[in-house]
Amino acid sequence: MKMFPAIPGRYTVLTASILLFVENGVAKDSSNTDDHGADTAHVAPVVHNAALPRGSDNVPVIYQQAFLGGSDFYKDPGIRALLPFKRISLKRTGCPGGCAAYNFVIFNDGTAKLEALSGMPKKGMFSGTIDMNTYARLCFALEQLGYLKLENNYVSEATDLPGCIVSVETKAGEKSVTDYGSVGPIQLWVIQEMLDGVRLRITWQSAMSESGSQ
């Protein structure tokens, strides 16, 4: 019998459900992955937990703890490995009008990095952290918004406009969606704004030990 890592007691039932789900071969089956290698088996509806928010009956089991609270569940590497995205990033390019230009990356261990290039309060390299429940919710949101099904390029015919690139890393590789001139679908705009909202809530620490919002 396969031995699973120890998880804090109040997560035991949910953790066991997830790990047994994978151990039984459901998430491992190649037929349960999309073109980018992201697991799709766990997106099936699950039994509703009364503690989950109203209207969340179809929240996949891997994401339920993100709504139930607590900070220890996603600390386990085995659990984090079940999340569909190893990394999520947002890159904005500048424009003649002084648009903000930066590279923002968050990883599935909760660490975040920011390279502020121009049009920002401070320039340079910064690091920070986000709550793992937030990262799990971001993964869930990207799946619900159909990010992996978006086209790779949405480009305006105009020039001198700001651009935005949203990228993710899956088990199979990387997918990037470029939106030049804000002509992408509304789902892409929601993802961009959502990631910027997370960025603005992070307390950034620079290499010079200065902290603040970016």
Task: Decide: 79 and 71 in contact? Cβ < 8 Å.
Answer: no
Q: What is the pLDDT of residues 52-92, one digit of tens each?
A: 656 556 789 899 999 888 768 999 999 999 999 999 999 99
Q: In which domain, by residue range, is 138 found?
A: 87-212
- Residue 1 in any domain: the answer is no
On whether residue 2 sits in a domain, the answer given is no
pTM: 0.74
On whether both 50 and 135 belong to a single domain, the answer is no
Claim to verify: residue 203 and residue 100 sit in the same structural domain: yes
